[in-house]
Amino acid sequence: QVQVVESGGGLVQSGGSLRLSCEASEFTLEEYAIGWFRQAPGKEREGVGCISSSDARTWYADFVKGRFTISRDNAKKTVYLQMNSLKAEDTAIYYCAADHTTVFCGVTAYEHWGQGTQVTVSP
């Protein structure tokens, strides 16, 4: 069964950094697109960034460009979300998701979701 598990969330001050991990289970990581999404209280879930399957191309939402970076380690079966220059508005639950066929980076394009990890950025 395809599973992804997020880790690495926590509390950080504004301007700080965190690295989230998304560990893949029961599937070959490079055969799946992986997306990072977030949901703040009272808001809809939104895309943060995605990495494609075979060629590892990345896409980022405008609000994180230049601050967040997605990378993939196939040997460790893990995708990372490096978050720098964090702002209070980045506070949310962060989710990773996997999909075998999508070329898009939208919430509805992904089939397999993790449980999320909380990121809190203090002002």
Question: Would you state the structure tokens that stand for residue 80, as one six-digit string?
Answer: 């990372």
pLDDT for 51 equals 97
Contact between 100 and 123 under an 8 Å Cβ cutoff? The reply is: no
Confidence check: pLDDT of 61 > 90: yes
- Give the up-direction half-sphere exposure of residue 30: CA atoms within 13 A in the CB hemisphere: 7
Mean pLDDT of the chain: 96
How many angstroms separate the CA atoms of 52 and 69, rounded? 14
Give the mean pLDDT of 88-100.
97
- The reported pLDDT for the residue numbered 102 is 86
Q: How far apart are alpha carbons 74 and 54 in whole angstroms?
A: 11
Q: What integer is the mean pLDDT of 111-121?
A: 97
